[in-house]
Copies of this chain bind each other. A is one copy, B any other.
Amino acid sequence: MANVFKGKLPCGYPASVSSKTPISSSNEGEAAHSLRHVAQLAGVSVATASRVMSGSSHPVSTKTRERVLSAADRLSFEPNRLARALVTAKSQTVGVIVHDISDPYFGEIVKGLEDGLHSEDYRLFVASSDRDPVKELDYVRAFHAHQVDAIVFAASSLTDPSYAEALETLSARFRVRGGVIVVLSDHLLEGPRVRFDNRRAVADMVGYLVGRGHRRVGYISGPPELLVSGVRLAGFTTAVAEFGLATGPEYIANGGFTVTGGGAAMGQLLEDVDVTAVVAASDLMAIGAMRQLLASGVSVPEEISVAGLDDIPIAEYGPVPLTTMRVPTYEIGRHGASILLEALAGETPDDVVLSSQIIERESVATVETPG
């Protein structure tokens, strides 16, 4: 460790004293090894060793290549990615920000991302923001400091404009540094994007119900401060208009994306309107609605049909197996990884749009149309 030469000299250039500590010859397989160790063992320069280890296009004779490789192997050398990143300005890391990593919805997305990224030798930092804008901003800053090559926003963002502004300035800084920003689904930020058409998904679900004879359908909405809530709600209202269904504000209740909230919203709907079906903006709320219905002595789906959105694992095993719309979360993550890699390669990827698919289970019944 200690430098051999201690005196002061402008260039550290005494005749024949190497400023690098010579390496003791008998430490194979121990401690941390650097390129210098490999080079020394192979009897080549650090530059040459680097060239073979990094797969440089600069030619190296097969003989020396093998010497280096075997030396690296004997020392079980692993290149220091931090040092490499410092000179190449590519860290081979990306950060993802989600609302809640323990929510399987985001878990699937992260899994898709990670799968797509790992095979291309990228590591994934994860951040769980709890929907806290301050935290999200802090994560952007932190990722930035760690020189990530890209940041993925899987968190569906808030509608609050001041939040949007703060996020935008911070992200701009990151972009200037050369970072790419990828957005999964609905978000205020610009960037290559994988779109899942939430609007269309609930519209299609309404269409499905209409096909089953329903004309009076209620809607349980998500919390208004989330962008996605508005998008899904828009899908509902346009479909209602398009199909000419019974309409009015009393057909819509806010469930806050939770089971209990869904139950409460259902209770309100029961009081206010006479519907034959309800679509909830999330499966969790749909389950809450079903529980409320059952508790009130209303049978599902015989008296009232319930449809969800997301197709979370619970959906299949709830009080009544839930008919819902599958949101392809894993694929969202996976495609996110793809366009991310393209953007990182300097290309300008097209947005990819993913479609949803209805999962028919047992919570929706056909209503007998009289005449």
Give residues in A with beta carbon < 8 Å to B: 10-11, 13, 30-32, 76, 78-83, 85-86, 91-93, 95, 100-104, 107-108, 110-111, 114-115, 118, 121, 123-128, 139, 141-147, 173, 176-178, 259, 287, 291, 313-314, 317-319, 330
Q: How far is the CA of A314 from the CA of B127 in the complex (A)?
A: 24
Q: How far is the CA of A110 from the CA of B95 in the complex (A)?
A: 15
Contact: A81 with B145, CB < 8 Å? Answer: yes
Contact: A81 with B147, CB < 8 Å? Answer: yes
Q: How far is the CA of A103 from the CA of B125 in the complex (A)?
A: 18
A265 to chain B, nearest CB (A): 16
A128 CB contacts on chain B under 8 angstroms:
110-111, 114-115
A150 to chain B, nearest CB (A): 15
A137 to chain B, nearest CB (A): 13
A314 CB contacts on chain B under 8 angstroms:
313-314, 317
Partner of A10, one of B13, B76, B108, B177: B13
Contact: B176 with A31, CB < 8 Å? Answer: yes
Contact: B127 with A126, CB < 8 Å? Answer: no
A334 to chain B, nearest CB (A): 12
Most chain B CB within a 10 A radius of its CB, from A13, A102, A124, A126: A102
Contact: B107 with A101, CB < 8 Å? Answer: yes
A101 CB contacts on chain B under 8 angstroms:
101, 107, 110-111, 114
Whether A102 contacts B91 in the complex (CB less than 8 A), given A81-B146, A125-B125, A259-B317, comes out as: no
Q: How far is the CA of A321 from the CA of B35 in the complex (A)?
A: 59
Contact: B177 with A31, CB < 8 Å? Answer: yes
Q: How far is the CA of A125 from the CA of B118 in the complex (A)?
A: 11
Contact: B114 with A107, CB < 8 Å? Answer: no
Q: How far is the CA of A56 from the CA of B82 in the complex (A)?
A: 22
A-B contact pairs, 23 of them (CB 8 A): A76-B173, A81-B145, A81-B146, A81-B147, A82-B85, A82-B86, A82-B146, A93-B146, A101-B107, A102-B104, A104-B104, A104-B107, A118-B127, A118-B142, A124-B125, A126-B126, A259-B317, A287-B317, A291-B317, A314-B314, A317-B317, A317-B318, A319-B319
A103 CB contacts on chain B under 8 angstroms:
104, 107
A291 CB contacts on chain B under 8 angstroms:
317
Q: Given contacts A104-B104, A123-B146, A314-B317, could you give 9 more A-B pairs where the C-beta distance is less than 8 Å?
A: A32-B176, A80-B86, A101-B107, A101-B111, A102-B330, A103-B104, A104-B107, A287-B317, A314-B314
Contact: B123 with A123, CB < 8 Å? Answer: no
Q: How far is the CA of A78 from the CA of B139 in the complex (A)?
A: 13
Partner of A124, one of B82, B86, B126: B126
A319 CB contacts on chain B under 8 angstroms:
317, 319
